[in-house]
Structure 1
Amino acid sequence: MNSELLFSTNYGDARRSFVDFCLKRGGIVQSFLNPNAKGPTGEDLFTDLVRFGPIHPKKALFCISGTHGLECPAGRTAFINWLDQFDFKSLAPDTGLYFVHAINPYGFAHLSRTTENNVDLNRNFREFSGPLPKNPIYDDLRPLLCPDGLDELKMEVMTAKLEDKAKDITWQVLVDGFMKGQYKDPVGVMYGGHHREWSAETLETIVKKELGRCEDVLYIDWHTGLGEYGYDFYVCLHEVDSPRYQLVNNLLDGKLEQTAKGFIGGQIPRYEGLLLAQLDRWLAHCRRMGFVIEMGTKDNKSISNALMLDAWLRRNPNSDDETKRNIKAQLLEFFYPNDPPWQDSLLIRSRNLLNCMYKQLVTEGLPAVKQEE
């Protein structure tokens, strides 16, 4: 297959080629214009939903890319690669395939993880009508995470400071306070916002309109970063002793048992406002099951450094062009490496994953959900 089609990292080119690819295979495309943002050259920004199969299917495979903006190319690559080998004549008549391209189009277009409001979309799926959660650990870490100068974000400098801080509060507490999200500092890292983002509202519209009559939905949110370089890594929010969790773990050959080990401190952060948690609530009318897939790129400390660089650039929009280009190039290489072995691994692992999940959905179905989950 054409490598430019598979591995495009320019938002406009990637969007056009993805939509054209799907249309040629009979996909139904709906495009959602973001009225609040433009691309780097003033272009309109869209989230695109592609559906294969009947409207209002009984069963649905629902895949999301671009929650964290510039991570979209990996999900997009996985979708194209799988669809290219899929036998559409074998698509079960009661089953729909859904692919969301760039749910955060601003982040993809501008090569940032966050939205047009510097919001980490994966901390924004929550109610904003009442008091927002406080994060005193973040408040304490803020001078370290959001320095004024780039020199303080050099890897060796930042790592040394984080290690010193961890001696006082432990890595587990540090990572939890850093990663779980905060709702106080709009120019900081892991900012969850003060209101629902356009991207969050758009996803809710899509889910309720397209999946509202489904009986079974298997959902996957596609990311990069966490995990060993070139290997798939998973996060599942279902209760560990639930049939859903056990089935996901079995289908993934026990890989969920390694999830906590992927975080410094050996414990998953207590995330706020996760997309996956809200998606599960929107689908409460049906049997549903899902998880996050990450394709590993760097270690946790490097991820922290990348998040800080992204936030620094958002706080310093008047930086010189060379600085902007260098930081964006670093971020892109971090979250979507231009490395053939890594790309090959993404193709193989994502294809195997989608084959496995599709087979489970159409042949065995999904387990019932306990009321207490």
Structure 2
Amino acid sequence: MIGIGEAFSPRYAQARQKFLQACVSAGLAVEPHAHPGKGQDGEELSMDVALDGAANAERLLIVSSACHGVEGHCGSGVQVFALHDAEWREKARAQGVAVLYVHALNPHGFSFGRRVTHEGVDLNRNFVDFSKPLPANDAYAKLHPLLVPEAWPPTPENQAALEKWIGKHGAAAFQAAVSGGQYQFDDGLFFGGKAETWGNKTLRSVLRRHAGGARRLGWIDLHTGLGPNGIGERIFAGKDDKAAYARANDWWGTPAAPVTSTYDGSSTSAQLRGLMCEAVYQECPAAEYTGIALEYGTLPLLDVMNALRADHWLHKHPEAPADLADGIRARMREAFYTDTDAWRGQVVSQARQAMFQAVDGLEA
């Protein structure tokens, strides 16, 4: 075993080394997918993949991290702990379930402390059909000049205008407009892109290679930034399919804490476009798929939104004073990673429970 605190890392390069070392200790081969760029400190970037179990397993659980870069502090810690967890590994093996760890879906964002990819894209809004007209988000278009203003911190006038919009339309409408995904403003928040990103293409190849033959497929994708601090909301990640949602609730839900859904409004997340799980239906069409995003709370929603706004402003203004830039980067990390032992303990215990439940669900 490894201590919970030891499994987590303050920087991407350290997180990657811990993941690679954990794979070596577990006797697993690592399949690196080199990113075309370099990290913040010039380090190599990679989406690293390790399979624990039979290559031709009909039952497969995917555990993935850092879809949204900076959220990888959390997800990587869960993966590293799991690879050192003999009881967990024996549980999956005994029930004939192979586990595919996908470490750092977005290594650029993880290294640079950003939510977006090197293309400036939200990877979890990028899985749309780019051969067709892209989804419109008229509400975001009206908000964009306010969300990424010319000056930071925002002027009182900017803040008043945003508060007026929220007062008129409501906080839920604001969250939906901003976070649902937009395809018009490449310097804006939750930008879904104009084409498939490197992460999109690479993940698809991983799914084809390791999950294309699975008969039953589960996926736990680890996220942070929504909900009460330290609470892991289990958000249904799939098409609007009642049978799949019922199956997810059978695996992971309880009467007191059912799996939530963006389709019925029970989730803290708004309904989103271009979700990563779309790739499963296209690359693994023979599999019965059941998935969740395990979303851990950090700061209040508007604080998280303001951290993202500042991050996008800073990307447009690299000439910003060092103290302002450092403060923005620190706030981004706080928005997606609560650096306390208590929070890390909550993260691991809830993820571990969800992983055990997934194995039981896949065996049933």
When the two structures are superposed, what TM-score results if normalisation uses the length of structure 1?
0.89
How far apart are the structure 1 equivalents of 2:341 and 2:283?
38
How far apart are the structure 2 equivalents of 1:338 and 1:181?
28
SS at match of 1:272: coil
Residue pair 1:81, 1:351 contacting (<8 A) in 2 also: no
How far apart are the structure 2 equivalents of 1:159 and 1:236?
34
Following superposition, the deviation at residue 2 of structure 1 comes to: 4.6
Residue pair 1:111, 1:332 contacting (<8 A) in 2 also: yes
Q: Look up the match of 1:177.
A: 177
Q: Look up the match of 1:219.
A: 219
Matches within 5 A, 1:317-332: 317-332=318-333
How far apart are the structure 1 equivalents of 2:241 and 2:335?
35
Q: Look up the match of 1:139.
A: 141
Q: Look up the match of 1:253.
A: 254
Deviations 1:105-141 (A, max 9, x none): 0000000000112111111111212221221111100
How far apart are the structure 1 equivalents of 2:116 and 2:294?
19
Residue pair 1:159, 1:301 contacting (<8 A) in 2 also: no
Q: Look up the match of 1:163.
A: 163
How far apart are the structure 1 equivalents of 2:173 and 2:331?
28
Q: 1:15 to 1:237 in 2, by over 3 A?
A: closer
Corresponding letter in the other structure for 1:12: A
Q: Look up the match of 2:41.
A: 41
Residue pair 1:56, 1:212 contacting (<8 A) in 2 also: no
Bigger mean CA offset, 187-196 vs 310-319: 310-319
Q: 1:125 to 1:339 in 2, by over 3 A?
A: same
Q: 1:139 to 1:276 in 2, by over 3 A?
A: same
Q: Look up the match of 1:300.
A: 301
Q: 1:19 to 1:258 in 2, by over 3 A?
A: same
Residue pair 1:225, 1:297 contacting (<8 A) in 2 also: yes
SS at match of 1:193: coil
- 2:48 counterpart of 1:9: no
Q: Look up the match of 1:123.
A: 125
How far apart are the structure 2 equivalents of 1:77 and 1:338?
12
Corresponding letter in the other structure for 1:33: A
> Aligned pairs, how many?
356
Bigger mean CA offset, 228-237 vs 208-217: 228-237
Deviations 1:215-268 (A, max 9, x none): 1110111100111111111221446772321232233214346553554xxxx5
Residue pair 2:238, 2:277 contacting (<8 A) in 1 also: no
Corresponding letter in the other structure for 2:125: R
How far apart are the structure 2 equivalents of 1:6 and 1:307?
26
Following superposition, the deviation at residue 321 of structure 1 comes to: 3.0
Q: Look up the match of 1:70.
A: 70
Give structure 2 stretches of 5+ with no counterpart. none
Corresponding letter in the other structure for 1:244: A
Q: Look up the match of 1:367.
A: none
Give structure 1 stretches of 5+ with no counterpart. 365-373
Q: Look up the match of 2:310.
A: 309
RMSD after superposition: 2.2
Residue pair 2:125, 2:181 contacting (<8 A) in 1 also: yes
Q: Look up the match of 2:193.
A: 193
Deviations 1:37-95 (A, max 9, x none): 21112222111001111112111110110000010121111122233223445514843
Q: Look up the match of 1:371.
A: none
Corresponding letter in the other structure for 1:79: Q
